[in-house]
Amino acid sequence: MDDIQELHAEFTAEPRRGEGARVQAGAYLLELSLDWIVLRASENIHHLLGESHVTLIDEPIGRFVHSQALHDLRNNFSRLSGTTGIGRAYGVRLTNEPELVDIAFHLSSGRILFEAIPSVGPFGGKFGTVGGLAAGFANNRGQALLDGGARRMRALTGYDRVTLVCGEERTESSRGAFAAPTDMALQLPAIIADSEAQGVALFPRGDEDESLGDALMCAPDSDTLAALTAAGVRSTLRLPFKGEGGVVGEFRCECRTACEPSFELHAAAELFAQFFVLRLEMDRLKG
């Protein structure tokens, strides 16, 4: 799955100059050094760790989370060494508070991006459906394969519209009409949960936001949010995929309503995209 995941940095939103990097409402973000020292923190982090974002800066994250949780997360991270993959952990208790969180982390520009969202378990259901959906490609070729890919991705994610682009080819599976076609030129983060929610600033604020633009839930800039609103889109998933010849295409999932963010759903959709591109390449080899 690393080939799919390494595209993440190429296809995520870059913050507009002057707006500063922000994380979406309901998510928490820490930028860590390779030694797990906190370099930046979202200004809502006190809701997660019980400490002000100011207090965390230049401190080891181990001061603020349970030692066992940190041990497990660092072990998980060590398995990503040398890759651009995304590590995920579900149902994690970071502090003495009863709330559980789902976590995603990956390397970007020599920093660790550590994101957390409220846990949405139970887990495994979405992954359990991927194999069956992918098996449906067995007898599909050409346009039927593309149409089936978009339709099955919509079944997996539950979003209102899925647009699939492969080179010059494009297809769509939609539940009802939207105000405008999908604008594939919009540079979006992997997940937008609610385009109408106000983003949360990162501290300390500054222009060194290159790595933060790679976060799964980096808040899009104001122009992008305005374009989504005009199209009647409130939440999205963006899933670029890659084959042997480089970038092959992208699934864009859109919904008219806000969608609770799920790192498991994003991972399952990435896996489905990988199955799809393998089947696509087999079809093209058959000519």
**Do 111 and 152 belong to one domain?**
no
Provide the 3-class DSSP secondary structure of residue 230: helix
Q: Is the pTM of this model over 0.75?
A: yes
- Domain with residue 143: its CATH number is 3.30.450.40
Are 28 and 46 spatial neighbours (Cβ–Cβ below 8 Å)?
A: no
* Whether residues 190 and 113 fall in one domain: no
Residue 135 is given by DSSP the state H
Whether residue 82 is predicted with pLDDT greater than 60 in this model: the reply is no
Tokens standing for residue 238: 């963006």
Q: Give residue 117's pLDDT.
A: 97
Q: From CA 234, how far away is CA 225, in angstroms rounded?
A: 9
Q: Please state the domain count of the chain.
A: 2
pLDDT tens for 97-137 read 999 999 999 988 889 999 999 998 777 778 888 989 988 88
CA distance 257 to 251: 19
Listed residues 88, 118, 148: the one ending a domain: 118
Q: Which of 16-25, 84-93, 169-178, 221-230 has the lowest mean pLDDT?
A: 16-25
Helix-strand-coil percent breakdown of the chain, rounded to 5?
30, 25, 40
Q: How confident is the model at residue 140 (pLDDT cuts 50, 70, 90)?
A: confident
Both structure tokens of 111: 């920093």
In this structure, the answer to whether residues 167 and 94 fall within a common structural domain is no
Contact 59, 38 (CB under 8 A): yes
105, 73 contact by CB (below 8 A): yes
Beta strands in 181-286 (DSSP E): 191-192, 200-203, 235-243, 246-255
188 and 86 in a common domain: no
Regarding whether 154 and 225 lie in a shared domain, the answer is yes
165 and 278 co-located in one domain? yes
Least confident stretch, 41-50, 180-189, 225-234, 275-284: 275-284
Angstrom distance (rounded) from CA 90 to CA 272: 20
Is 20's pLDDT higher than 80? no
pLDDT one-digit tens code per residue, 207-231: 555 678 889 999 999 999 999 999 9
The H-or-E segment that residue 92 falls in is strand 87-92
**Domain extent for 167:** 125-131+139-286
155 in the same domain as 114 = no
Same domain, 278 and 145: yes
The reply to whether 110 and 144 lie within a common domain is no
